[in-house]
Structure 1
Amino acid sequence: MNKQLPKKARVVIVGGGVIGCSIAYHLTKIGWQDVVLLERKQLTCGTTWHAAGLVGQLRNSLNMTKLAKYTSELYRELEIETGQSTGYKQTGSISIATNSERFEELKRNASMAKVFDMQVDTVTRAEIERMYPLVNTEDVLGGIYIPTDGTANATDTTQALAKGARNGGAQIFQNVKVEKVIRDGDRLTGVETDHGKIDADFVVMCAGMWTREIAATIGVNVPLHACEHYYVVFDNVTGLSREVPVLRDYDSCTYFKEDAGKLLMGAFEPKAKPWGMNGIREDFCFDELPGNFEHFEPLMLSAMHRIPALENAGIQTFFCGPESFTPDVRYHIGQAPNVSNCFVAAGLNSIGLQSAGGIGKVVAEWMKNSKPPADLWEVDIKRNLPFQRNRKYLHDRVSESLGLLYATHWPFRQFETARGVRKSPIYDRLVAKGACHGSAFGWERPNWYAPEGVKAEYEYSYGRQNWFEHSAAEHKAVRENVALFDQMSFAKFRVQGIDAESFLNRICANNVSVKPGRLVYTQWLNEDGGIEADLTVTRIANDDYLVVTSGETETKDFYWLKNHLPEDANCYLTNVTSGMAVISIMGPNARNLLQSMTPNDLSNEAFPFATSQEVELGYAFVRASRITFVGELGWELYIPTEFAQNVYDEIIKAGEPFGLVHAGYHALNSLRIEKGYRHWGHDIMDEDTPIEAGLGFAVKYDKPGGFIGRDALLKQKQSTCTKKLVQFLLEDPEPMLYHNEPIYCNGEIKGYVRSGMYGHTLGGAVALGYIEDPAGVDKEYIDNAKFEIEVAGVRYKAKASLRPMYDPTMAKIKC
């Protein structure tokens, strides 16, 4: 190191791979010049240097696709701006299918791309042969072609970003190791290095596979783990043209890229080999791993089947290097939930190069504005849960994560590794009843129940899967009789103290100044009026509230509360998720069943809708809350965990004469979509307001003290609403809807499906999705328009409604 480290910086970035350099570059673009990037060895020496160089764009959501498209556009212009070559070349890409289910997935992706304003063409076998003459297409059904995809050199691109950052005023130091990140309370104050200390206003951790350990030293949870990742470079490939597109053969887990006259073949094998369980040695720098040819050989044989010319080609390079992967195959970016000036960008799942531009841009904007510039929940670090930093869990899970990049993305596909992390106390009893559990945020949740003689396991398809009719029977039981749901995975918080009411009323859009025993459905909003959480608040006593939210957002929602709690408030928060099991009893016969078990009066007069009481069940006292997420009469029972088995056993015994049925989360989903109930993470997000989502009834503008987001909502109320959440029902009962299908209004795409499921009561696939029009969207607009939804390239007529198509007056709920 020739120049001296500064004593102070606005931002210190830890890690000099393509992600760190992109963030430094983009921070200078927003005018932040006091930026310091520290690299322990040399730029790109960890994993960036051996990236294969693919720059694809189509992702599984709108905002992730936008980030990838921006990355591609940036790389096109970066060389002109900096004078440093990036090696970027627009080659296009072809993805092929060798079975009908994969072809269905690709065609659905092509439909989805229309929503994202991307050209993705469905291509025939003959067209694939014309574009890529080397390919053996004897088993190929077809594919998709993306003309704007490309390739780049990862090392050159990183150097270009670094040069651009330096030109903007950033300082980059190599061979400087960060030995400690300094934390003081809820903030970081800087870093200590082997060359001295730097005070900083922000610290950004972009240290690749080292990030988990560095972050853990300051109590920030970044679950990731390295795996061996392979590719082979063939030379003397007869007939290889330098102009061929990137080729992805998902069914063989392989991809092919022309590379300086040679052919690079890489793979994402179904069962990967985790690496670095005992740490990464100090001198690791541009290192290769020994690799295992026997492990990779089956993929080599598949590659030779796909491109027969490889049989006579030479192998120039057999490469194995480490890449970090995450438990859900989504990367980690954003502001740490528990340290306000700590940002993270790591765990790129082998797509760092093709993600770097977009990540750099949004992280820089996030830091500048103290909020994400778009809905980034799917990659937000706040989704992570404490158990996920467990090393055994990560080791076992990432062996599957790597292969999921190329595996068929089946609807409802469940993880197979690192299962059984979190279990309801009645888990074994539910298994005995035929439960087929899925994995959600570590919880084992019953998704459906197999009747006697049927195996409780998934058979995946894009059509009706093997559980379809069994879930339909559960759905019917809820609508017509009574069913039991295990909902232990709810996140549950206690907010207690004499300031609990005033604190929650500032956070909640609805009014929680209610009598003890009342339950309030509400949203938490950001300053723009966007929905940050969707939940219920139950007043247990004057100074005691129970907040119930989704298990998926447990970390996010708890820290939303904590980070908004005034320092001088006489109020404290406790996460009591593990302390209470939740069993829901839902259906027209719910009252009769539960009344047969308790001396408490459950009549509508004594126990009206949206109230909560402590009742006797079995040998326990249980908090019974009359609320529903399925659109029927019912109660959620909050049971001290140690009493859950007894209460369950008593319910089962009492339920026999009533024909009680066990129901799973697939039925819960079909029921709630029929009723038009919103789900945070799909139908409502931080870019959607209650006005747009049809949740204005849960907003109390005139309550004392106001609430976060009130001004933004009042402003929106005074203008024309250009976006509305609408419920759709396909007229054809055969197609299945899942998410991201384009919605056509009078022949033009005006939105896309946020969530979809088959509505067994309504008799067809049901969906929720926003319709947007600059001229305004209201009931008259929806009632007079003609709607179609596209599934795998085919449009189907759809009925549309702003009101729930099932029980719009809520008569069944309030009886």
Structure 2
Amino acid sequence: MSLFRRLYARRPQFLSKRAQGGDSQNLRLPTQSRVVVCGGGVIGSSVAYHLAQRGWTDVVLLEQGRSLGCGTTWHAAGLIGLLRPTKALMTLSKYGRELYKSLETKTGFDTGFRECGSLYLATTQDSMIYFKRLLSLAKSSRIEAHLVTPKEANQLCYDHWIRTDDLKGALWVPQGGTANPSDVCQALAKGASQKGVTIITSSAVNSILTSNGRVWGVETDEGNIRCEYFVNCGGQWAHQLGKKSNPQVAIPLHSTEHFYVVTQPIKGIPNMLPVMREYDAGVYLREWSGGVCAGAFEVEAKPCFADGIPDNFEFQLLPEDWEHIAGPLEAAIHRMPALGKAEIRQQINGPESFTPDNRYIIGEAPEIENYFVAAGLNSTGIANAAGVGRCLVEWIIDGQPSVDLTLMDIKRFAEHHNEKSFLYNRVKEVVGSIYALPYPGKQFNESRGVKWSPLAERHENAGAVWCEVMGNEIVQWFGDGKHDNDENTFGRPRWLEFVRAELLAAWQSSALFDLTSFAKFEIRGRGALHLVEKLCCVKTNMSNYSQQHAIMLNEKGGIEVDCQLVRLEENRYFLLAAAELLTRAHHWIRKHLPEDQSVTVFDRTDDYALLSLIGPKTDTILSRAFDLSTLQPEEAKEADFVLGDFSPVILTKDKMQATSILVPAKFAIDVYDQLMKSNRNELIDAGMHAYNAWRVQNGLATWQRELSPYISPLEAGMTDLIDYTKYFIGKEALLSQREDGIKRTLALFRLEDPTGEVMPWGNEPIRKRGEEIVGVTTSGATFDVDSEAALCLGYVNLADWHNLATDKAIRDHLVEMENDYVIDVSGKAYRAKIVY
């Protein structure tokens, strides 16, 4: 009996049109349901299960195929790993392991979970460094893990099943293991149906019905279902399912061919052989029904289904391709010689979907209210489906997951991410990145050059080294033509010498940063003041031609948007935010627009360039170039530069003395050339590495590093941005937190390192009083200009602190505390002093 027939025979029996003769009247399709979940793979089943666990049983799960898990779940390799690159993902994996162990007791359906352990093998010194970083993160997540020698790795593999003579070492995770993917899916579905969830197979969704930007129903091939919420768990079909609504929902993922081989039984192979992952070779190995399963994450993958997934593609595989996987298979045989002598039972080439940045797609779609998505788990669907399902249900019911999944929020994408050609080329590279070492700053090479600054040619001539953010090509630093962005290291990179020169200019003279990639919005109309007052917790009824750092909060007091707000007229504002906030900020503003249409928001991101000058000589440089009067802190002005044409610009200066020039994109080169021509010896170009270093040295938090919907301004050192005398979203939550006291605070650390080699990059555990982990770093990769010592920002847990409601009170208390902190960088502890 073939693999898929055996899996199909083991399924629980749910409502099926085909099983009941195809009569839609016999199907008893509900006319309404609180939630409709589309997709009966492991993710959709997990969402249904967790909805039922929360008491939401008025739920319908629709699967277009004839059985649950018949799309891509059934051919997954079933690896249950616990180690991930972030603490949030480790939390999801840890939860999934615990759930799969207990599901048989809860549902009567065994998941096939085996706790055989996971062994991560290193053949290079860089892999060992990365494993040390993972080990530190695992400890902070309370996951048991141990570095072991090659000899100990051999012993864990029953003494002779792997070759270890070329290993540098390994990382052992005893609680890792495997599970049967189809059994996991069926057990979750069984647990949902036992509590009253309706599961219907052989029922396709034709359209998601909306009104006024909100979900109200689902049209199927058997009729309509009215609903409050729709959840897209379509797996590799999620992208095309996103197009079946008005407006369409962008879900950027693309299918690729994905390979593993399974052997016939091998005599003597242990049933509890650990799962082995060798990142350096891009392969994994596990025991499989008495034989071996060897899988690969090849450097260049093969995208498929560029013209759409074929109809009725269920329990199907793609053609074998032995030539494509020859290299990874040779590496697997090298690691496990017995594999080379075994008879191959089957090559599995099953399509899986991948996202353009190798991060999950989770959350409420920005296009439609109450339309949620859980897709694109990038070949970790079995391991993390449980955690993703639970978090998405929390998102629906509680308004926010219990785990900070901001980096995986669907609102991180821009329009270009969903374009077919972009996805097709990018996923070729994404598959290989899953097992590639995640060097700090490592960039994708495919699907680049989507957006360029008007100054790109000038920057290229000045020796720019580029990175990509939200499709924008951004200068990392300016080099000498001998350095590029392909340097891979966890230590101190060679480009520091260039960044130091740029940073010195920002402190001693003036440095020019091209921030054209920033999101830019114009808010205007008779209700503009009322809107920004409600959205921003800072005072926004400021004088015309003034500027203010502002943050927008959610109802829980967490930060949704971090921005610069410029008031030009009584009811006209400009809002500037980091490029990563483009979709999120636009969605948040539109979500709160008044129904009387008294406010209009315009996306001006592509209309304007943004230049920022930082340094003590900036005022002199500007006046020398353009004959301007000096700006005061938090002042803004409109000016007319006559540069061959009428060229209005907006200038602002913030509290940190950074002066920004917002200029129409077509005049950006004129403004830049005028600045450089007038100040050849005192103004230099600088990139984002120097900008980040300047930011960290000043203790300034930024989005996706220190700021997220889970961080309040009290915790982030932003109490000066709160005006409690007015109403704003999140005010009640802040008042409550101020009364109860904060539990963590952002701190700036200086590391003590006599060698001058340490480089914190973020995600390093912060310890105090021996082994007690009290926090984690958020930003690093910087240094103090004067001392060359490494600096980093990080949150410190302060569960015993109360009534420290101002930044000054917090910082005064920090100064009084003992400086016995250490920061674990790649497995080595460095003493760290809190700067403030």
Q: Distance in 1 between matches of 2:410 and 2:658?
A: 35
Seen in structure 2, the aligned counterparts of structure 1 residues 110 and 726 have a Cα distance that, compared at 3 Å, is: same
Q: Distance in 2 between matches of 1:193 and 1:172?
A: 14
- Between the two proteins, the alignment pairs up a number of residues equal to 791
Is 1:336–1:344's contact at 8 Å kept on the other side of the alignment? yes
SS at match of 2:791: strand
SS at match of 2:318: coil
Letter paired with 1:728: F
Which of residues 755, 759, 765 is equivalent to 2:783? 759
Q: Distance in 2 between matches of 1:720 and 1:640?
A: 45
Q: Distance in 2 between matches of 1:274 and 1:146?
A: 33
Letter paired with 1:199: R
Measure how far apart 1:541 and its partner are: 0.5
Is structure 2 residue 168 aligned with structure 1 residue 145?
A: no
Letter paired with 2:388: I
Q: Distance in 1 between matches of 2:220 and 2:639?
A: 59
Q: Distance in 1 between matches of 2:40 and 2:600?
A: 41
Q: Deviation digits for residues 378-406 of structure 1, max 9, x if unmatched?
A: 11111111111100000000001111100
SS at match of 1:192: strand
SS at match of 1:514: coil
Relative to structure 2, which stretch is displaced further, 368-377 or 264-273? 368-377
Q: Distance in 2 between matches of 1:201 and 1:717?
A: 35
Q: Distance in 2 between matches of 1:274 and 1:246?
A: 27
Is 1:400–1:417's contact at 8 Å kept on the other side of the alignment? yes
What is the identity percentage for the equivalent residue pairs of Structure 1 and Structure 2?
37
Which of residues 736, 745, 767 is equivalent to 1:724? 745
Is structure 2 residue 338 aligned with structure 1 residue 309?
A: yes
Is 1:288–1:320's contact at 8 Å kept on the other side of the alignment? yes
Name the structure 2 match of 1:471. Answer: 499
Letter paired with 1:642: K
Name the structure 2 match of 1:190. Answer: 217
Is 2:36–2:62's contact at 8 Å kept on the other side of the alignment? yes
Which of residues 754, 767, 783 is equivalent to 1:744? 767
Which of residues 817, 820, 824 is equivalent to 1:784? 817
Is structure 2 residue 133 aligned with structure 1 residue 104?
A: no
Is structure 2 residue 571 aligned with structure 1 residue 557?
A: no
Is structure 2 residue 220 aligned with structure 1 residue 199?
A: no
Is 1:475–1:760's contact at 8 Å kept on the other side of the alignment? no
Letter paired with 1:24: A
Please show how residues 342-381 of structure 1 align to structure 2 within 5 Å.
Answer: 342-381=371-410
Which of residues 518, 531, 536 is equivalent to 1:490? 518
Which of residues 247, 256, 263 is equivalent to 2:285? 256
Q: Distance in 2 between matches of 1:181 and 1:793?
A: 50
Which of residues 537, 550, 560 is equivalent to 2:565? 537
Q: Deviation digits for residues 585-638 of structure 1, max 9, x if unmatched?
A: 221221221111112212xxxx2011111234461332111137xx5x431111
Q: Distance in 1 between matches of 2:500 and 2:166?
A: 36
Name the structure 2 match of 1:169. Answer: 196
SS at match of 2:37: strand
Name the structure 1 match of 2:672. Answer: 648
Name the structure 2 match of 1:326. Answer: 355
Measure how far apart 1:782 and its partner are: 5.1
Name the structure 1 match of 2:733. Answer: 712
Is structure 2 residue 58 aligned with structure 1 residue 25?
A: no
Name the structure 2 match of 1:66. Answer: 91
Name the structure 1 match of 2:805. Answer: none
Name the structure 1 match of 2:455. Answer: 426
Please show how residues 444-523 of structure 1 align to structure 2 within 5 Å.
Answer: 444-451=473-480, 453-523=481-551
Name the structure 2 match of 1:437. Answer: 466
Name the structure 1 match of 2:63. Answer: 39
Name the structure 1 match of 2:13. Answer: none
Q: Distance in 2 between matches of 1:593 and 1:454?
A: 31
Which of residues 440, 456, 459 is equivalent to 1:411? 440
Is structure 2 residue 618 aligned with structure 1 residue 584?
A: no
Relative to structure 2, which stretch is displaced further, 608-617 or 403-412? 608-617
SS at match of 1:143: strand
Measure how far apart 1:239 and its partner are: 4.5
Which of residues 684, 701, 713 is equivalent to 1:690? 713
Is structure 2 residue 154 aligned with structure 1 residue 126?
A: no
Which of residues 582, 591, 602 is equivalent to 1:574? 602
Name the structure 2 match of 1:811. Answer: none
* Structure 2 spans left out of the alignment, 5+ residues: 1-16, 21-26, 803-809
Measure how far apart 1:781 and its partner are: 5.0
Measure how far apart 1:700 and its partner are: 0.7
Q: Distance in 2 between matches of 1:238 and 1:479?
A: 69
Is 1:226–1:322's contact at 8 Å kept on the other side of the alignment? yes
Measure how far apart 1:513 and its partner are: 0.3
TM-score between the two structures when normalised by the length of structure 1 = 0.95
Q: Deviation digits for residues 412-434 of structure 1, max 9, x if unmatched?
A: 10111100011111112211110
Q: Distance in 1 between matches of 2:459 and 2:825?
A: 35
Which of residues 704, 709, 725 is equivalent to 1:681? 704
* Structure 1 spans left out of the alignment, 5+ residues: 803-815
Seen in structure 2, the aligned counterparts of structure 1 residues 213 and 728 have a Cα distance that, compared at 3 Å, is: same
Q: CA RMSD in A?
A: 1.4
Q: Distance in 2 between matches of 1:783 and 1:447?
A: 38
Name the structure 1 match of 2:4. Answer: none
Name the structure 2 match of 1:13. Answer: 37
Is 1:734–1:764's contact at 8 Å kept on the other side of the alignment? no
Is 1:483–1:586's contact at 8 Å kept on the other side of the alignment? yes
Q: Distance in 2 between matches of 1:67 and 1:689?
A: 23
Which of residues 58, 81, 90 is equivalent to 2:115? 90
Q: Distance in 1 between matches of 2:611 and 2:707?
A: 25
Name the structure 2 match of 1:813. Answer: none
Relative to structure 2, which stretch is displaced further, 164-173 or 456-465? 456-465
Name the structure 2 match of 1:247. Answer: 276
Is 1:598–1:616's contact at 8 Å kept on the other side of the alignment? no
Is structure 2 residue 82 aligned with structure 1 residue 57?
A: yes
Relative to structure 2, which stretch is displaced further, 234-243 or 569-578? 234-243
Is 1:783–1:801's contact at 8 Å kept on the other side of the alignment? no
Is 1:599–1:616's contact at 8 Å kept on the other side of the alignment? no
Is 2:763–2:778's contact at 8 Å kept on the other side of the alignment? yes
Letter paired with 1:97: A
Q: Distance in 1 between matches of 2:574 and 2:394?
A: 35
TM-score between the two structures when normalised by the length of structure 2 = 0.93
Is 2:692–2:782's contact at 8 Å kept on the other side of the alignment? no
Q: Deviation digits for residues 558-586 of structure 1, max 9, x if unmatched?
A: 11111112212511111110000111122
Name the structure 2 match of 1:114. Answer: 139
Measure how far apart 1:666 and its partner are: 0.7
SS at match of 1:689: coil
Is 1:122–1:142's contact at 8 Å kept on the other side of the alignment? yes
Name the structure 1 match of 2:12. Answer: none
Q: Distance in 1 between matches of 2:299 and 2:148?
A: 27
Q: Distance in 1 between matches of 2:482 and 2:88?
A: 41
**Where in structure 1 do 4 or more consecutive aligned residues deviate above 6 Å?**
none
SS at match of 1:462: coil
Measure how far apart 1:771 and its partner are: 1.2
Is 1:618–1:646's contact at 8 Å kept on the other side of the alignment? no
Q: Deviation digits for residues 472-528 of structure 1, max 9, x if unmatched?
A: 111112111222111111101111011111110111010010111110111111112
Measure how far apart 1:58 and its partner are: 2.0
SS at match of 2:102: helix
Letter paired with 1:13: V
Is structure 2 residue 819 aligned with structure 1 residue 794?
A: no
Q: Deviation digits for residues 332-356 of structure 1, max 9, x if unmatched?
A: 1111112111111111111111111
Q: Deviation digits for residues 81-109 of structure 1, max 9, x if unmatched?
A: 11112101111101011111111011111
Q: Distance in 2 between matches of 1:488 and 1:237?
A: 60
Letter paired with 1:598: F
Q: Distance in 2 between matches of 1:783 and 1:109?
A: 33
